[in-house]
Chain A
């Protein structure tokens, strides 16, 4: 177990820069999730920590030791690949013991280590099978078993659940979390799935275009997204966004949206009167009421029942908003009223996309 410190890490493939100076400190035993859309550089960063990609500039330290020039085998980390990367010509037991055999561990200790890992992952009965005779979930478990037998300084996960179906993914997510609780090992987990990020992470690192957008606890990112990218990426269904004009004067601060609709704000924001702003509000924070209730009147355009609740597409003013409600009554073309509670609004600079204080 170890801390991992990443300082000013850059990566360039010739003239193409994919990482633009990443700084990140991961504490001993922490579970950090790197999340972002494909091509944002999260996997590249993970592979640089693993030693599979060269570091163009900057420094990576594992447990205080600079590892820039160390071979992957000397970094004492374990990695679970998206493709599992099990050795097809070896049995499950051989797959799991390969790293220990390379280290000339004694036979007894290997047996103890793999039987311990197998028991933890429920693989006891599969030890003599080859990977091709395993289901996707079992292969995934073997890949994790191969990582945990070594008791490495850190675990790296590269989208390990992407190849599983939805139900299995949910189950394995729980198992990974449980595993982390029991082992307490420093873990870095790469995913493009924000639900995985939210459920697993102690801290989330949201990345886009090779730049860290925000680092914080899952609820931090959910409650106080630092910019439009994070606001749009975290949360499902995604946050509603629409443009308006900030009014500091008159009857208290407010936002003016299309067709003269004014939304009152609770407080002043640090932005000039008349500035264009982007307003964000999460679907679950928009209360929907009957037509007679006070609020902004709107028409229901589309109803998406999810079972647990219903996603309503409503059109209050020139823009379509999604509202999540556990009320099942609404049908398309109903007239309703919605409210946009001031305490739930997120204001962003319309140009730069940064959150307004």
Chain B
């Protein structure tokens, strides 16, 4: 390719990426913009990119006068527990599916896939019926159990694919070197799967963090509501408190961002480079 052509190609490429980023981030920007727009300007300056006067009044209201901090705390408990439990279960199950052949493996995989095929709405009523006599409706524990159940299959497949990417030779070498299978798993395989574990943690955490359907159906008291349900409390019969809702939304983004910031160094691939031929 000639030089001008190459430059034109690069420009087109960068422009396309930029257009995509703008497209993807614009709603977030609007969220932020509305959250700092005072109520009296919300409708008069609705189309401006930035209000003529910005304030943090919505944030202060949300933090000081609403139930939002409690919703937030509930969400952290539910999402954190779900992510933690799912990742442990999925690591064990994924390793088994990746490394062993056993009776019924085919059917277990098929059943796990099957669970992913139903629209969740279909399952709300039966799950409510099951949890209710156990006293698990209106409780964070019940919500965690439901989230774990729904996330384990996909997370297992995710972890399995990461284990599949780690050569079997490595744990065999460790076992010949004198390790038990468990030690080979914990000392050799697990450290190499950290990117996979980070990805699974992140995926499950965000899935649980933003889940609305079950949180809405299984929880009725505001004391144990999670924040997606809490956001709905800004919608009243006659009006919507857009400013406060958006401020709460911005605040809700923070833990997810922090979480990804924390795990991003493990998400970097290439940790296994050099293990085997190459």
Contacts and interface: CB of A to CB of B under 8 A. Distances in A.
Interface of A: 50-52, 71-73, 75, 77-79, 81-89, 98-99, 102-103, 130-134, 136, 139, 146, 150, 163
Given A131-B275, A136-B277, A81 B177 contact: no
B274 A134 contact: yes
Contacts of B178: 73, 99, 102-103
Nearest to A84: B276
A50 B175 CA distance: 10
A131 B277 CA distance: 10
A133 B173 contact: no
Given A77-B176, A88-B273, A132-B273, 9 more contacts: A52-B175, A71-B175, A73-B178, A79-B176, A88-B272, A89-B191, A89-B192, A99-B177, A163-B277
Contacts of A99: 177-178
B171 to A, nearest CB: 9
Contacts of B167: 83, 85
Given A83-B167, A136-B277, A88 B271 contact: yes
B241 interface: no
Nearest to B181: A71
Given A71-B175, A83-B167, A85-B169, A132 B276 contact: no
A102 B188 CA distance: 13
Contacts of A52: 172, 175-176
8 tightest A-B CB contacts, nearest first: A132-B274, A83-B276, A131-B274, A85-B169, A99-B177, A85-B173, A88-B275, A102-B178
Contacts of B177: 73, 78, 98-99, 102, 146, 150
Nearest to B170: A85
Interface in B242-278: 271-277
A82 B170 CA distance: 11
B170 A89 contact: no
Given A86-B275, A88-B192, A132-B274, A98 B174 contact: yes
25 contacts: A50-B172, A50-B176, A51-B176, A52-B172, A52-B175, A71-B180, A72-B176, A73-B179, A73-B180, A79-B172, A81-B169, A81-B173, A84-B275, A84-B276, A85-B167, A85-B275, A85-B276, A86-B276, A87-B170, A87-B174, A88-B271, A98-B177, A131-B275, A132-B273, A139-B274
A51 B273 CA distance: 27
B99 interface: no
Interface residues of chain A: helix, strand, loop or mixed (majority) = loop
Nearest to B273: A132
Choose among B167, B173, B271, B276 the residue with the greatest number of A CB atoms under 10 Å from its CB. B173
A48 to B, nearest CB: 13
Contacts of A84: 275-277
A78 B176 CA distance: 6
Interface of B: 167, 169-170, 172-180, 183, 188, 191-192, 271-277
A73 B175 CA distance: 6
Contacts of B274: 86, 88, 130-134, 139
B123 to A, nearest CB: 39
Contacts of A134: 274
B276 A102 contact: no
Given A79-B176, A85-B167, A85-B172, A102 B183 contact: yes
B103 to A, nearest CB: 13
A102 B173 CA distance: 13
A87 B275 contact: yes
Nearest to A79: B176
A83 B177 CA distance: 16
Nearest to A98: B177
Nearest to A129: B274
A209 B31 CA distance: 69
A163 B177 CA distance: 22
Interface centre among B174, B192, B277 (most CB of A within 10 A): B277
Given A88-B192, A88-B271, A88-B275, A83 B179 contact: no
Contacts of B277: 82-84, 136, 163
Contacts of B169: 81, 83, 85
Nearest to A132: B274
Contacts of A130: 274
Nearest to A89: B191
B178 to A, nearest CB: 4
A51 B271 CA distance: 28
